Homo-oligomer: A and B are copies of this chain.
Amino acid sequence: MSLVVQKYGGSSVADADAIRRVARRIVDTRNAGNDVVVTVSAMGDTTDELIDLSNDVSGKEHPREMDILLTAGERISMALLAMAVRDLGVGAQSFTGPQAGVITSGSYGRARIIDVAPGRLRQTLDGGDVAIVAGFQGLNQETQDIQTLGRGGSDTTAVALAAALEADVCEIYTDVDGVFSADPRVVPAARKLDSITYEEMLDMAASGAKVLMPRCVEYARRFNVPIHVRSSFSGLEGTMVVGQTEGEEAMEQPIIAGVAHDVSEAKITVIGVPDVPGSAARLFEAVATAEVNIDMIVQNVSATHTGVTDISFTLPTAQVEAARSALEADHEAIGFRELVVDDTIGKISLIGAGMRSSSGVSAKFFSSLRDAGINIEMISTSDIRISVVTRSELVDDAVRAVHTAFGLDSTQGEAVVYGGTGR
């Protein structure tokens, strides 16, 4: 008997019919001889409706109360789903995050799971029942208050429960068939990947692929939880996100997993920063206090020997004002001349664990962009990723060009495999 953790998002439980469909899938999994734990999000638009309601009443920031309010959404969906499962003849009990032993820490609205005490879930499984757990929430033990996990919180809940229960697999049900080599809305020839490593998935997610959030993949990697990303609307196999098996490298694995893109970021350039030790530290300390998520950072050598340099970084567009305020509040200490904000940038990233041991990847990447007439403004790399920043309106063309150049289009057969090492 296997232990399967399943996660269903809001669109999978949007109405009564959808809830009954999900219940049928849970019962089929149970009847196939598996123990089943389910994590569920709030129904459809419930969370947005609750946010609207709070804006009608207040509109100000009330983090503790907002988390109490929003967790009503999962409370509703989990109870209804448990009813629907029970109607199909399988025992089921729903549990809030606190009841399921999900322990959190950090700020309201974006808490982190720090532990899971799965005693009550284990007991429920031992009793033959399906356990249905509210995603996106946990108990802060210091304050004894409920907290929400923020974006991607339900996926992370599922992975955390799978880790704590040593589940055989964590199935993440979504509205797409799996992880694709690029966004199918941009690249019609994108293909579904049968499997992808945690590292690749992390870089895909961090580079703009929406299917899984980085924090969830990071959690899965740390505890080696196999994730199966699959559609709640079909019975098809999706994409397995797993660790890299010994000896597989360069043997069977395609070099490139996929091409990701992201137009949700902006660029801030800090002009005229003193070119002395500690400048960058002071600058990014200021930004860090505003809890801004920095992505790429580029500093050019001050070629003109003026004693000052320019530092550019990218960040979520929504955080631009926070970053700008923090920098201006520290204007004197940092000593820059001016700030330039550019919110019309786009990022294209090529991801593949195989590029560690393959040469020519960078060259092919840049030449394909050149051939498509894409001007490159910033470059950043990790050992399994190359990212460039360009104008946002060029991003779709760039993604298609790179996807084709690396033989990823589904009409082109298998991806090209490069030999040698290094880029």
Contact = CB atoms under 8 A, between A and B. Distances in A.
B62 A83 contact: yes
A300 interface: no
Nearest to A75: B72
A39 interface: no
Contacts of A144: 99, 120
A60 B83 contact: yes
B50 A68 contact: no
Interface in A46-63: 50, 53-54, 56-58, 60, 62
Nearest to A78: B68
A57 B80 contact: yes
A80 B69 contact: yes
Interface stretch (A86-94, A253-261, A355-363): A86-94
Contacts of A56: 15-16
A87 B58 contact: yes
Interface in A67-114: 68-69, 71-73, 75-76, 78-80, 82-84, 86-87, 93-94, 99
A57 to B, nearest CB: 5
A20 interface: yes
Interface residues of A, number: 36
Interface string A216-249: 0000000000000000000000000000000000
Given A53-B16, A57-B20, A75-B72, A64 B80 contact: no
A19 interface: yes
B60 A87 contact: yes
B65 A94 contact: yes
Contacts of A86: 58, 60, 62, 65
Judged by DSSP, the binding face of A is helix
Nearest to A19: B57
A144 B93 CA distance: 13
Interface string A159-199: 00000000000000000000000000000000000000000
Contact of A82 (B15, B65, B73): B65
Contacts of A75: 68-69, 71-72, 75
A374 B145 CA distance: 59
B94 A79 contact: no
Contacts of A145: 99
A349 to B, nearest CB: 40
Contacts of A66: 79, 83
Interface in A5-60: 15-16, 19-20, 50, 53-54, 56-58, 60
Contacts of A78: 68
Contacts of A99: 144-145
Contact of A57 (B16, B72, B73): B16
A50 B73 CA distance: 12
Nearest to A53: B80
Contacts of A54: 79-80, 83
Given A57-B84, A65-B83, A65-B94, 18 more contacts: A16-B53, A16-B56, A20-B57, A53-B76, A58-B80, A60-B83, A60-B86, A65-B82, A65-B93, A66-B83, A68-B75, A68-B79, A68-B94, A69-B80, A69-B83, A71-B75, A72-B73, A120-B144
Interface of A: 15-16, 19-20, 50, 53-54, 56-58, 60, 62, 64-66, 68-69, 71-73, 75-76, 78-80, 82-84, 86-87, 93-94, 99, 120, 144-145
